[in-house]
Amino acid sequence: RKEVEQDPGPFNVPEGATVAFNCTYSNSASQSFFWYRQDCRKEPKLLMSVYSSGNEDGRFTAQLNRASQYISLLIRDSKLSDSATYLCVVSAGGTSYGKLTFGQGTILTVHP
Contact partners, residue 48, CB within 8 Å, separation at least 6: 34, 35, 55, 57, 60, 62
Contact call for residue 22 and other proteins (CB under 8 A):
no
80: Cα within 13 Å, side-chain hemisphere: 2
Residue among 75, 105, 108, 110 that touches other proteins (CB under 8 A): 105
Contact call for residue 1 and other proteins (CB under 8 A):
no
Contact call for residue 45 and other proteins (CB under 8 A):
yes
CA distance 37 to 96: 22
Contact call for residue 43 and other proteins (CB under 8 A):
yes
Q: Parallel, antiparallel, or unpaired for β 106-111 and 11-14? A: parallel
Applying CB under 8 A, the span of 20-28, 56-64, 67-75, 102-110 interacting with other proteins comes to 102-110
First to last CA, the chain: 37
Please count the residues of this chain forming the interface with other proteins, following the rule CB under 8 A.
Answer: 20
Give me the residues that bind other proteins (CB under 8 A), please: 4, 32, 34, 42-46, 49, 87, 91, 97-105
